[in-house]
Structure 1
Amino acid sequence: MCGIVGIFDMRAGSEIDRKLLDSMNQTQTHRGPDEGQLHTEPGLGLGHRRLSIMDISSGQQPLFNEDGSVVVVFNGEIYNYRKLAEELTALGHQFRTHCDTEVIVHAWEEWGERCVQRFSGMFAFAVWDRNQQILFMARDRLGIKPFYYSLLDNGLFLFSSELKALLAHPQFDRSLDPLAIEEYFAYGYIPEPRTIFSQARKLEPGYSLLLQRGQMAIQSHIYWDVPFSASTPPMSEQEAEEELVLRLRGAVDSHLMSEVPLGAFLSGGVDSSAVVAMMAGLVKEPVNTCSIAFADSAFDESRYAQQVANRYQTRHFVEQVEQDDFDLIDRLAALYDEPFADSSAIPTYRVCELARKHVTVVLSGDGGDENFAGYRRYRWHMMEEQLRSRLPIGVRKPLFGLLGAVYPKADWAPRFLRAKSTFEALARDSVEGYFHSVSILGDKLRAQLFAPGFRRNLQGYRAVEVLRNHAVRSPTREPLSLVQYLDIKTYLVGDILTKVDRASMAHSLEVRVPLLDHELVEWVSGLPASLKLRHQEGKYILKKSLEPYLPHEVLYRNKMGFAVPLASWFRGPLRERVHKALLGKTLADTGIFNMAFIQTMLDQHQSGRRDYSAPIWTLLMFESFLRNIFSQASPASTARERKVA
């Protein structure tokens, strides 16, 4: 696991500032504390920070082909590299190392842009071909590894693993993108390909970029998508269960290659427990497992993790996160480089901190909810879809729109009594209804939160367009599969994988996600929706297939999630801090917000009339991001960038 950075002159072969390149590279030292190297030549500079996992003695980067005409910087793991190396050797290529990085160089020489279709793994890389004057870049199929890029006004193309490396370039414009702000306050993160900065983008999962010296166009090309079509003949439920276990075991097995200590996260949920169960059957030594416990039993899953650890006799490590563990707020802003409002980033940071004390590589269960329909919101969406299918939008919109308007808001009530949100969702079409269910701040709240001038600046743009754009490209119209596809394209990569990448890399820890093995994802996507969600039971086929491997209580208990007690924090120990942050100059001076409405939210939350904990946390993280960015910028640029409206 590593960090990569680069500067490419798209117009000519100008001299690259090696000192500046080194400064950009050093901002990512946490991603690779073991080594850091640079390569410069006319019009090109490449940097790499290395966390040694494979071929520790000879896997240094940037890495070249035999004659030095092709060079690569790479972040990730290519799990099928040995097979590819054998194939490429048979075709006449000569290998000097035993690491997966060198496979990328020779695969480019042999197959060009199509090389990326041969790789199985998690990756973000850039290949420079001097003879063709081509810079080729790609990101893995599911977006496990990050890739940021920017084209400066002077024709320099920058790329990096984290935004902080781009921010280190003095000519990078830190002006904020108003559309990204709209998206952030809807989703709690900024979906691909946008970033918080107008001048930077994320390369989308399953996409590549090819730049030709002398041409100024930047065009991304898709090389993979989740098919959501059956790739095998129909099979019985029992056959599907048996096939799933075989494929799951194979995916975990492929992720075990390592020359350093390896373990697994074990939350006590189905997905991480499944990974540990498969690992225990594949390795000779006891599996190293790491869990976080919470003092508040409403958030604590540690006893379920202990059941799995006992069953497989793992070497189990547990640490308790205290209820007042909120000192990470400003640290998180520095980690993520742009606003990020998933509060589970706090326990995720802590479990990575714990794991790094014992291992260098861990396997996680991320991706199970998206693959197998595990989120509760899928159940509610499918119930809403049944009603939508019975009534045309012309009837639903006025009927349920009126009911949603008059029904009282009841944040304190159980979900089935919170009919206001359901009525509002039923008044919308499928995509907009799902957007309504996943939004941290719905359309009405965002309209109240944003100042009139900022709303005008949006020119009618709404964050639902992110989902609509993906829905248009979706290979499936089946209702459950469609929202799974939307989550894979947005929430999985923009929230879950981003959260884990930054939290783990902050501790120089590599996290692997076998449930996102692309061949497993392809196969699972082709299973009938009825095998994923049945009678309100999410992950149906996964749970059935794991019954011989995991306790019934672990498989069929209610999902808890990796949450923290925000509502009580904001009414208790964080009350003064929140008021000072949200009502202070940092937010007010942007011109983005209606400060009177922020005051109203704080007052209503404090009184217990409403639960505004999620919007308050979203604002708190935005304020922390702004302070972090402003503290790095020059006074002149700070004054210019503070205003976006």
Structure 2
Amino acid sequence: MLTAKGTAAEYVNAVEGSLECMYHRGPDAAGTWNDDDAVFGFNRLSIIDLEHSHQPLRWGPEDNPERYALTFNGEIYNYIELREELKGYGYTFNTEGDGEPIAVGYHHWGKDVVNHLRGMFGIVIWDTENKVMFAARDQFGIKPLYYATTEAGTVFASEMKSILELAPALNLDLGLDKRAIEHYIDLQYVPEPESLHANIRRVESGCTVTLSPGGKVISDRYFKPEFHTVKVDDEQKLYDRIADALEDSVAKHMRADVTVGSFLSGGIDSTAIAALAKRHNPDLLTFTTGFEREGYSEVDVAAESAQAIGAEHIVKVVSPEEYADAIPKIMWYLDNPVADPSLVPLYFVAAEARKHVKVVLSGEGADELFGGYTIYKEPLSLAPFEKIPSPLRQGLGKLSRILPDGMKGKSLLERGSMSMEQRYYGNARSFNFEQMKRVIPWARPEWNHEEVTAPIYAQSEHMDPVARMQHLDLFTWMRGDILVKADKMNMANSLELRVPFLDKEVFKVAESIPHEYKIARGTTKYALRKALEQIVPPHVLHRKKLGFPVPMRHWLAGDELFGWAQDTINESQTDDIFDRAAVLEMLKEHRDGISDHSRRLWTVLSFMIWHGIFVEERIDPNIERQDYPVKL
């Protein structure tokens, strides 16, 4: 926290108290530091340099050896190389960890230090000499960083809950943001930089911020992903570059003074990471989860992949009862709701993994970087529509709207009549506007998904259609859903998740791949699959993406979750947001098989549970210290 009037000492106890609700992010040690202007607090999950590198960390040059105070959440994978480079400039170090090189690098390079970091991070540095606070977030948004400003000052935190805990001391208004609520209902997540609380915001991925006491937060984007086409003269060299970059990334991500395991769904992404990790840890443990209902579990597939790479495999099976019981706790950990049912099994597999290891690797980011989503093929299938004059295309769109739902060709005509900016909103959308008005009557058309996507599309006009979709997903679906659930569900269990695909050096290779090497030969991630031919077992190479599929449609219609959903709707105190009768009617239509509303229902139900915890304070998430794992 940076105070506005040099009153930092008054807030030390409040900051210490706010650390309690982030105990899960760092149960190994805690500490605070303050001067007249700033208060720092930190919970540590010890991964590197276990006996030292405690935070808040102090460093400075010889003439002012405690000039800087630093806290940072995450890992810097090139910290060894950074330390050696900075030693070459004459600097000395007091620890062997990855935090001190950030402080030294900031002194040497200033805010450009972020371009020298290879890793995942949320960083805050206070320069006691120049009275400047510097904060930064990693390129892709793997680690979160929230902030809020009042007359008392500005506070940064890895979780929104800590800011909520400080709200009384800061006199922070906790009113909700209706625009953010509509964006959430539309997209299934709250897009950055918003949060559901109007006065709490997030530092965006790939951005730095600076401020002085009493000043405004000034944000600057340092990472601007640029997908561009480079002619491929030698295909094998391209595949070798991909394989080499990924192998180097996994090697760097294995750096730790504790045991590192790997999640394994059985698909190509997680199997590639696990197979490369096995080269560095012969005793590698892999983890997966599944469900009791036949046809939805990928447990057998993952076990087959684990056997093929020679890893010991551990499975967690989740029942519908466990699933429903865990939802309030999970919504508390999330800070803002994410309506992705797969985050629940992720929570359970993380809890199982934490019994054995302190760090796991995973395959997030491969689809966005290498073209892995089936919908990325759409520009090819819709290419003929691009040759049709605009008035005729608009006429086809009107025709599609009068055709019966489910009629063959209706969707093709509808999507073909629209521009990419109109039709592609990213990998998640629960409601169109008419469906949204049914459940939130106050919805405003100007607050729809295009308000989020239009500025992002404006940055990619010069890219090919597939690259534009990838670019959009980096700033929406990936950082709004994929990386939020990855961070929150693993840190809920004091387990650090590392994602080797989302590495700046891997991205340097991925950003130059032409689209014909992403969606070639009727498949996705074509170049990546070719690069992995000597790394993953043959039976995995052309398997579709698996993840942790959840039988939500079946559960909400059946005995497993229908009653729970009905009770949740009836008990929720959200009448100022939702039309309760319309939501109940939607649930009945789903049960009766009239329409599959599972995604829409889960979006609303997730918000209702979140609201019951953070606004109504009616639902107890049952967070207790015994929920946290013992130290390893």
TM range (shorter): over 0.9
Judge which range, 502-511 or 273-282, deviates more: 273-282
1:22 Cα deviation (Å)? 0.6
Structure 2 counterpart of 1:440: 430
Specify which of 39, 61, 65 is matched with residue 59 of structure 2: 65
Structure 1 counterpart of 2:396: 399
Aligned residue identity for 1:401: K
Matched, 1:511 2:501: no
> 2: CA distance between counterparts of 1:524 and 1:218?
33
Matched, 1:26 2:24: no
Structure 2 counterpart of 1:293: 290
1:247 Cα deviation (Å)? 1.1
CA contact (8 A) 2:9 2:39 kept: no
> 1: CA distance between counterparts of 2:144 and 2:390?
39
Judge which range, 504-513 or 547-556, deviates more: 547-556
Structure 1 counterpart of 2:200: 200
- How do 1:251-266 and structure 2 match up within 5 A? 251-266=249-264
Structure 2 counterpart of 1:586: 573
- How do 1:338-417 and structure 2 match up within 5 A? 338-384=336-382, 386-403=383-400, 405-410=401-406
Aligned residue identity for 1:9: T
Query: What is the CA deviation profile of residues 574-625 of structure 1, one whole-angstrom value per residue up to 9, with x for unaligned ones?
Result: 222212222445122xx22233422331221121010001111111001001
Query: What is the CA deviation profile of residues 318-356 of structure 1, one whole-angstrom value per residue up to 9, with x for unaligned ones?
Result: 222234432222112111121210100111111111111
Query: What is the CA deviation profile of residues 231-281 of structure 1, one whole-angstrom value per residue up to 9, with x for unaligned ones?
Result: x77432222112211111011111111111111111101100011111223
Identity of aligned residues (%): 32
CA contact (8 A) 2:58 2:68 kept: yes
- Please give the TM-score of this superposition, normalised by the length of structure 1: 0.91
Matched, 1:224 2:223: yes
Specify which of 126, 133, 138 is matched with residue 124 of structure 2: 126
CA contact (8 A) 1:228 1:476 kept: no
Specify which of 581, 584, 587 is matched with residue 602 of structure 1: 587
SS at match of 1:126: strand
Specify which of 455, 461, 464 is matched with residue 469 of structure 1: 455
Query: What is the CA deviation profile of residues 437-493 of structure 1, one whole-angstrom value per residue up to 9, with x for unaligned ones?
Result: 731111221122222xx23xx473222221111111237421000000100111111
- How do 1:76-475 and structure 2 match up within 5 A? 76-152=74-150, 154-169=151-166, 170=168, 171-214=171-214, 216-229=215-228, 234-283=232-281, 285-324=282-321, 325-384=323-382, 386-403=383-400, 405-410=401-406, 419-435=409-425, 438-451=428-441, 454-455=442-443, 458=444, 460-474=446-460
> 1: CA distance between counterparts of 2:140 and 2:124?
18
CA contact (8 A) 1:186 1:442 kept: yes
Structure 1 counterpart of 2:475: 489
Q: How many residues align?
A: 610
SS at match of 2:615: helix
Cα separation, partners in 2 of 1:282 and 1:437, compared to 1, 3 Å = closer
CA contact (8 A) 2:141 2:479 kept: yes
Query: What is the CA deviation profile of residues 486-528 of structure 1, one whole-angstrom value per residue up to 9, with x for unaligned ones?
Result: 0011111110110011100011000100000111112111110
Cα separation, partners in 2 of 1:584 and 1:380, compared to 1, 3 Å = farther
CA contact (8 A) 1:136 1:208 kept: yes
Cα separation, partners in 2 of 1:286 and 1:96, compared to 1, 3 Å = same
Structure 2 counterpart of 1:614: 599
CA contact (8 A) 1:139 1:207 kept: yes
Judge which range, 23-32 or 299-308, deviates more: 299-308
CA contact (8 A) 1:345 1:503 kept: yes
Cα separation, partners in 2 of 1:596 and 1:393, compared to 1, 3 Å = farther
Query: What is the CA deviation profile of residues 381-432 of structure 1, one whole-angstrom value per residue up to 9, with x for unaligned ones?
Result: 5423x144122433222322331x223334xxxxxx6644443333322022
SS at match of 1:27: helix
Structure 2 counterpart of 1:40: 34
Cα separation, partners in 2 of 1:203 and 1:191, compared to 1, 3 Å = same
Aligned residue identity for 1:212: S
Query: What is the CA deviation profile of residues 28-64 of structure 1, one whole-angstrom value per residue up to 9, with x for unaligned ones?
Result: 0100000010011112111100000000011100111
Structure 2 unaligned blocks of 5 or more = 619-632
> 1: CA distance between counterparts of 2:118 and 2:384?
41
Aligned residue identity for 2:569: L
CA contact (8 A) 1:382 1:480 kept: no
SS at match of 2:424: helix
1:632 Cα deviation (Å)? 4.2
CA contact (8 A) 1:407 1:419 kept: no
Aligned residue identity for 2:539: E
Structure 2 counterpart of 1:575: 562
Judge which range, 190-199 or 531-540, deviates more: 531-540
1:289 Cα deviation (Å)? 0.9
Aligned residue identity for 2:50: I
Cα separation, partners in 2 of 1:560 and 1:55, compared to 1, 3 Å = closer
> 2: CA distance between counterparts of 1:114 and 1:557?
41
Specify which of 520, 526, 530 is matched with residue 540 of structure 1: 526
> 2: CA distance between counterparts of 1:511 and 1:375?
23
SS at match of 1:318: strand
Structure 2 counterpart of 1:56: 50
Cα separation, partners in 2 of 1:255 and 1:8, compared to 1, 3 Å = same
Judge which range, 311-320 or 155-164, deviates more: 311-320
Cα separation, partners in 2 of 1:218 and 1:526, compared to 1, 3 Å = same
- How do 1:519-530 and structure 2 match up within 5 A? 519-530=505-516
CA contact (8 A) 2:433 2:445 kept: no
> 2: CA distance between counterparts of 1:94 and 1:551?
46
Structure 1 unaligned blocks of 5 or more = 1-6, 411-416, 634-645
SS at match of 1:290: strand
> 1: CA distance between counterparts of 2:302 and 2:455?
39
> 1: CA distance between counterparts of 2:180 and 2:135?
24
CA contact (8 A) 1:425 1:437 kept: no
1:11 Cα deviation (Å)? 4.7
1:223 Cα deviation (Å)? 0.7
> 2: CA distance between counterparts of 1:78 and 1:561?
27
> 2: CA distance between counterparts of 1:616 and 1:557?
30
> 2: CA distance between counterparts of 1:102 and 1:418?
61
1:371 Cα deviation (Å)? 1.1
User: What root-mean-square deviation, in Å, do the aligned CA atoms of Structure 1 and Structure 2 show?
Assistant: 2.0
Cα separation, partners in 2 of 1:205 and 1:392, compared to 1, 3 Å = farther
1:155 Cα deviation (Å)? 4.1
